[in-house]
Amino acid sequence: MAQILTASDLMDTTPSNSQTPVPSTPDYPELTSSLTSSNPNSGSKSKNGDSEYRRIRCPPHRYTPLRTSWEQILTPLVQYLNLLVRFNTKTRSVELKTSPTSSPGSLQKGADFVSCFMMGFEVVDAVALLRLDDLYLDSFQVTDVKMLKGDHLSRAIGRIAGEDGKTRYAIENATRTRIVLADQHVHILGSYQNIRVARDAICSLIMGAPPGKVYNNMRNVGRRLNES
């Protein structure tokens, strides 16, 4: 079983093989895992002879959630995708590396999973990207739909969320998607058809369509998709 870093290790500043002080911005030890052989040099090569890396930056507002959910994030990456993982405290980024037992496409799946969490999705929703092949991520900005500034932009974002998030939840339930609002950025997780329905509904709200009309159109389209 691969080595799993705990949440407390995320902020560990003392290497396990040394008692000497370390700099104030320490790095994690080199990527190691029991998935590699006993030869210390074999861990740097994958099946095609080259190691592949991905680095996903952690936004400041997602650092605390990352610490809290570190073990939940690490487990599927190591046990399911057979990747080598560490958190680099200098660059504030999650680094992924292929291992000799990694399957083709595992690195990209792992990067998509971590990126999904960094966007603001819950771990349980992001894990669906690893289990299902027909799930996708779509991101856009409110200003991509209509050029808005100041209070007009704030009102458009408020129309998408609704009071206590009711509008967003209604769109999620009707389209079977997950939606994250991060300032003026909108992230949608779901199947291709469902993302299209949810995006059309959100764009209509941004353009000023009445919520009742948007709900009716969304339900009609969703009903036709279920019947097809």
- Look up the CATH number of the domain holding residue 218: 3.30.1370.10
Domain final residue, candidates 76, 103, 133: 133
Domain housing 98 = 50-133
At 50 the pLDDT is 67
- Give the count of domains, the chain: 2
At 70 the pLDDT is 93
At 51 the pLDDT is 75
Question: pLDDT digits over 114-128, tens only?
Answer: 999 999 999 999 999
Question: Which tokens is 207 given?
Answer: 């353009």
Q: Cα dist. 55→80, 138, 212, 224 in Å?
A: 19, 20, 43, 41
- Residue 169, pLDDT > 50, answer yes
- Residue 74, pLDDT > 60, answer yes
- Residue 32, pLDDT > 70, answer no
Mean pLDDT of 158-182: 89
Of residues 21 and 135, more confidently modeled: 135
At 228 the pLDDT is 63
What's the pLDDT band for 15 if we cut at 50, 70, 90? very low
What average pLDDT does the chain have? 79
At 35 the pLDDT is 31
Residues 67 and 128 in one domain: yes
Residue 4 domain flag:
no
In sequence order, the 6+-apart residues with CB closer than 8 A to the CB of 115 are 56, 137
Domain final residue, candidates 104, 133, 162: 133
At 179 the pLDDT is 95
* pTM (whole model) above 0.75: no
Domain final residue, candidates 83, 110, 133: 133
Residues 157 and 129 in one domain: no
Residues 115 and 167 in one domain: no
Mean pLDDT of 75-90: 92
Phi/psi at 91 (5° precision): -95, 0
3-state secondary structure of 57: strand
